[in-house]
């Protein structure tokens, strides 16, 4: 049977560069993420023309190639692209390569839904296995650096609560004011799977919560800066301020933006916006190694983090980088002679 003709939903852009901008503007990409998306899509722009993407010093100042978006439908492109993608792995780390591949696939899917192109030349290109990250948990010094960042009261409270409770970010963000028991330093939240459970915090969070809550008696604990748009579910709108519940995506973006310098201390200032910061997931799992360093028995980290399997917290309940550094320093023969 003849294949049905796809009718474009809007006039196709004249070039790949225009298509990228149309995607960033029309697909709901946050402004804070648009720069990273644009860089990744520009990199793939060279590869989509059959040319290797510039790397190192050659990348800075290189002008994107101008070509029609329809060139993506070239039937010989997938084979050429697979070779270029494989060669890129030799010059870039697996996480970067995988992130770029994910971004370009999202853009291609969006362009296909617009009816501008019909093919996906990245089909067959596999994500590269990344070696395990043994530094997933943040060191105590890195945690301490977070508290000195110039951020809003909302961010300070959210980050403190994530670290002190070892709770998932979505569990913390779904908290309502009426779910809190400040006197007991705990709150009732919906855990993974829909179960109702308790999370427990310490004095750092307890000191910040009254300032964040102010005179509110109900509604979402963590709010956006603006009024909730029309159509926002009632449960996600503060009945006293009219502002919406802070989303996971926005909370993650804010944390990632503010921790780029901490995550890349040797990077040049001009390069910071192109680099990735920390994730909320790493912040959640940073308290467990610190518990292990203090001699806490394994059952307690499991109960604190509320993982379903004991094997999950075992990955994090291992001495952190600061603890290992102290251990090595204390057993340094030169240090012993000095004492």
Q: In degrees rounded to 5, what are phi and psi of residue 225? A: -85, -15
pLDDT of residue 280: 87
pLDDT of residue 135: 47
The reported pTM is: 0.55
pLDDT of residue 90: 75
20 burial type by CB count under 10 A (0-12 exposed, 13-18 middle, 19+ buried): buried
* 258 and 277 Cβ atoms separated by less than 8 Å: yes
Best CA proximity match to 248, nearest among 167, 308, 140 = 167
- Ranges in the chain, pLDDT < 70: 1-9, 30-32, 56-61, 130-136, 191-194, 270, 274, 288-328, 330-332, 334-339
Q: Report domain extents, the chain.
A: 16-114, 140-314
pLDDT of residue 96: 80
Residue with tokens 């996600």: 236
pLDDT of residue 136: 62
| Length in residues, the chain | 339
The span from the CA of 197 to the CA of 186, in Å, is 10
Q: What is the CATH number of domain 140-314?
A: 1.10.443.10
Q: What is the pLDDT of residues 134-163, one digit of tens each?
A: 546 777 788 889 999 999 999 999 999 999
Please name the residues in contact with 156: beta carbons below 8 A apart, sequence gap of 6 or more: 147, 208
């Amino acid at each position: 049977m003849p294949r049905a003709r796809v009718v474009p939903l809007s006039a196709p852009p004249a070039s790949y560069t225009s298509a990228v901008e149309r995607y960033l503007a029309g697909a709901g990409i946050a402004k804070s993420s648009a720069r990273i998306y644009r860089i990744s899509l520009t990199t793939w722009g060279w590869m989509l023309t059959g040319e290797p993407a510039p790397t190192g010093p050659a990348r800075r100042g290189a002008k994107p190639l101008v070509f029609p978006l329809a060139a993506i439908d070239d039937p010989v492109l997938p084979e050429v692209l697979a070779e270029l993608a494989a060669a890129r792995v030799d010059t870039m780390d697996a996480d970067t390569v995988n992130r770029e591949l994910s971004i370009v696939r999202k853009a291609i899917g969006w362009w296909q839904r617009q009816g501008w192109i019909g093919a996906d030349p990245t089909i067959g290109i596999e994500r590269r296995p990344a070696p395990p990250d043994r530094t997933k948990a943040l060191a105590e010094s890195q945690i301490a650096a977070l508290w000195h960042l110039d951020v809003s009261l909302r961010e300070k409270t959210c980050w403190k609560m994530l670290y002190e409770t070892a709770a998932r970010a979505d569990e913390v963000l779904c908290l309502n004011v009426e779910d809190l028991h400040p006197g007991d330093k705990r709150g009732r939240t919906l855990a993974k799977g829909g179960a109702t459970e308790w999370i427990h915090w310490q004095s750092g969070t307890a000191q910040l919560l009254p300032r964040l809550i102010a005179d509110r008696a109900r509604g979402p604990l963590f709010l956006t800066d603006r009024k909730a748009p029309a159509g926002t579910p009632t449960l996600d709108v503060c009945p006293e301020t009219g502002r919406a519940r802070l989303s996971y995506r926005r909370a993650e973006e804010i944390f990632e933006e503010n921790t780029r310098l901490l995550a890349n201390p040797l990077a040049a200032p001009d390069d910071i916006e192109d680099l990735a910061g920390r994730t909320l997931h790493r912040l959640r799992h940073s308290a467990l190694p610190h518990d292990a360093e203090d001699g806490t028995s394994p059952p307690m980290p499991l109960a604190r983090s509320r993982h379903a399997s004991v094997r999950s917290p075992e990955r994090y309940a291992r001495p952190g980088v600061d603890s290992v550094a102290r251990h090595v320093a204390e057993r340094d023969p030169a240090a012993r002679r000095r004492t």
